[in-house]
């Protein structure tokens, strides 16, 4: 996880957060232009995330839910004012893009597959996002009609030659996606925390909910290709997860949805 030591202007934070930040070592840990993330090195560590108004409610709710299962950090505060703010305790260890994990790709791919299978076998009762699939398909439709289409992040074997080709798959087969499994929603190596190879928690849960397992399976394989710069470990990932639970036709439907963001 990237951390850059900074000296932030303390006045940009809500007043009651300022004593927490005052006198602490603060690091910028942001990884997207949409949100700012700070690591506050104090009392065991905190993460503070700020994003446009109304955008962190799902992440706060899903993080709280995952925390009840021992799968995520404790949410210490969430508020929505002119911006959204989310304060959580630190999850021990480093994410799976740390060199210590990337240097042992076989072990990493088998561990991430096993963790995903265990997550997908979790009880979904009381999950605050009860139909991830409906939101997922609605977002694909909206983005298609808004002209958003991007295959740049995907390996060629998942790509589509045009937005119309991908949309036809979503339109005719999207209803085949289930809503019966607890998902992370963005199951990528930067969002899986390990402490000396021991699982310590998931982060960035804003896309989670009860949906189709193939969304996480798609991203679980994609992240190995992207972060390891090779497709050599995908078969090992499918084997470790359990090929009996993987339908490649469903993965193609997910890929069609994902090109619309």
The pLDDT of residue 156 is 62
Bridge partner residues of 36 (DSSP):
50
Residues classed as catalytic: 186
User: Where residue 101 falls among pLDDT bands split at 50, 70, 90?
Assistant: very high
Above 60 in pLDDT, residue 157? no
Strands laid side by side in the 36-41 sheet? 4-6, 25-28, 36-41, 46-52, 83-89, 75-80
85 in helix, strand or coil? Answer: strand
The pLDDT of residue 73 is 96
Among 207, 189, 6, 5, residue whose Cα is nearest residue 103: 189
**Beta carbons of 135 and 240 less than 8 angstroms apart:** no
Average pLDDT over residues 4-20: 92
Average pLDDT over residues 225-238: 94
Mean pLDDT of the chain: 94
User: Where residue 141 falls among pLDDT bands split at 50, 70, 90?
Assistant: very high
The pLDDT of residue 34 is 81
Among 204, 222, 211, residue whose Cα is nearest residue 109: 222
Residue 228, CB-side half-sphere exposure with 13 Å CA sphere: 25
- The CATH number of the structural domain formed by 94-258 is 3.90.1200.10
Name the token pair of 3: 């951390």
Q: In the 8-state DSSP scheme, what is residue 98?
A: S
As a whole number of angstroms, the longest Cα–Cα distance in the chain is 57
Above 70 in pLDDT, residue 106? yes
The pLDDT of residue 31 is 78
Of the listed ranges 8-12, 46-50, 98-102, 252-256, the one predicted with least confidence: 8-12
**CATH level 3 topology of 4-89:** Phosphorylase Kinase; domain 1 (3.30.200)
Above 70 in pLDDT, residue 189? yes
User: Where residue 151 falls among pLDDT bands split at 50, 70, 90?
Assistant: confident
Calculate ∠ Cα 72-2-80, nearest 5°.
55
Q: Which residue has the higher pLDDT, 121 or 32?
A: 121
User: Where residue 155 falls among pLDDT bands split at 50, 70, 90?
Assistant: low
How much of the chain, in percent, has pLDDT values that exceed 70? 98
How much of the chain, in percent, has pLDDT values that exceed 90? 88
| 178/42 Cα distance (integer angstroms) | 43
Average pLDDT over residues 92-103: 96
Q: Answer left, alpha or beta for residue 10, where phi above 0 means left and psi between -120 and 50 means alpha.
A: alpha
Q: Where are the domains of the chain?
A: 4-89, 94-258
Neighbours of 217 (CB within 10 A): 26
Average pLDDT over residues 202-215: 98
| 73/46 Cα distance (integer angstroms) | 10
Of the listed ranges 24-38, 145-159, 241-255, the one predicted with least confidence: 145-159
The pLDDT of residue 261 is 83
CB within 8 A of 157, min separation 6: which ones? none
């Amino acid at each position: 996880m990237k951390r850059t030591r900074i000296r932030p202007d303390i006045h940009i934070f809500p007043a009651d957060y300022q004593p927490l930040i005052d006198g602490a070592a603060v690091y910028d840990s942001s990884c997207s232009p949409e949100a700012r993330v700070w690591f506050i090195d104090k009392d065991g560590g905190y993460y503070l995330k700020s994003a446009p108004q109304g955008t962190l409610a799902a992440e706060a709710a899903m993080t709280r839910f995952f925390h009840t299962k021992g799968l995520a950090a404790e949410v210490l505060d969430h508020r929505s004012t002119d911006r959204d703010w989310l304060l959580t305790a630190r999850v021990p260890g480093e994410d799976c893009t740390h060199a210590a994990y990337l240097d042992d790709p076989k072990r990493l791919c088998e561990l991430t597959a096993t963790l995903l299978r265990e997550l997908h076998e979790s009880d979904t009762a009381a999950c605050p996002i009860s139909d991830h699939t409906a939101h997922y398909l609605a977002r694909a439709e909206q983005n298609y009609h808004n002209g958003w289409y991007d295959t740049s992040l995907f390996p060629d074997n998942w790509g589509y030659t045009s937005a119309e080709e991908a949309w036809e798959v979503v339109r005719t087969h999207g209803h085949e996606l289930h809503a019966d499994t607890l998902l992370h929603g963005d199951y990528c190596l930067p969002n899986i925390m390990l402490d000396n190879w021991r699982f310590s928690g998931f982060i960035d849960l804003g896309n989670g909910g009860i949906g189709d397992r193939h969304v996480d399976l798609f991203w679980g394989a994609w992240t190995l290709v992207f972060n390891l710069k090779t497709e050599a470990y995908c078969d090992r990932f499918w084997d470790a997860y359990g090929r009996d639970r993987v339908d490649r036709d469903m993965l193609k439907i997910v890929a069609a949805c994902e090109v619309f963001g």
